[in-house]
Amino acid sequence: MKPYLLLFATYLICVAQTFAQNQEIRLFSHRGGRLEHDENTLRAFEASYRAGYRGFETDVRMTRDGALVITHDSSLERTTDGKGVVEQHTRAEIEQLHTRQGNKVLFLDELLRFLHDKPGLYVEFEMKTAPQHLYPSRRLEEYCDKLYEAVMAEKPADALYVFTSSDYRALRYLQSRYPGVELLLITSKPCNDETIDLCKTVGIKRLGATMDGTSRASVRRAHDEGIIVSLWPGKSVQDFMLGAYLGCDYMCTDIPVELKKWVAENAPWIKVKY
């Protein structure tokens, strides 16, 4: 770690230690730990699980023939040896592809089989429905129904499975169709009065906000309003320490193995649930 980053991390440790006596952070592996592993592959989730994580985040899209595939981008180019758009290919076509690191492209049913017998899980299933023209109303509803039914059919009894999105259309549909569903609103804005009031207005109790611009006061206000705060990004140890200082409840990490080791060695007083 560079000296100035180490100094910053040390400062945050000192400050965060003052405020974190009664705080527990649920840390979860973002896309299986995308800066350490081949993102959104079974190998990535297996590696995070072996490292002790029971919290995960993943992304779900729908193929042309209605199969649910684990991938962040609509375009195939960044992460696979394919070309074009996920939503314009069939499952059989996607199954022929490999990631840039040579792994099999993962489908939702395969991920759920891996998770179904694991205790103590927290999993965020991000509904990737952008660009919106690929998911007009009827197709969006088909996607949401298939995702919800598949996930809940395989959910372990003690697991907390949360459906997340920055597309309020998908959240609203699940909210109306499946009362009691756990939802999280993702925003590229900080936790502030605007995003807190939006969650209150739409009746969603979980907010996924960026740390940039978030204050401890705004997180306290969210808590006072009954809103659970999840902060991102989680690219570094410094991101984690800042999130701890801000008082978040949940945080993603792209470096699950490195961060778990760092916390154990440098900040064991922070209450972290992996």
Give strand pairing partners of 55: 122
Task: For residues 178 and 162, give the distance between their C-alpha atoms in angstroms, rounded to a whole number.
Answer: 13
Q: How confident is the model at residue 11 (pLDDT cuts 50, 70, 90)?
A: low
pLDDT at 264: 97
113-167: pLDDT as tens digits = 999 999 999 999 999 999 999 999 999 999 999 999 999 999 999 999 999 999 9
Tokens of 112: 């759920």
pLDDT over 80 at 14, yes or no = no
Give the pLDDT score at 9. 56
Here the tokens at position 254 are 């792209």
Average pLDDT, the chain: 94
Question: What pLDDT, on a 0 to 100 scale, did the predictor assign at position 22?
Answer: 72
Buried (b) or exposed (e) across 184-214, using 16+ Cβ within 10 A? bbbbeebbbeebbeebeeeebebbbbbbeeb
Looking at domain 3-269, its CATH architecture is Alpha-Beta Barrel (3.20)
244 CB neighbour count, 10 Å cutoff: 26
What's the mean pLDDT in 25-37? 98
Task: Give me the residue spans of the domains in the chain.
Answer: 3-269
Average pLDDT over residues 227-255: 97
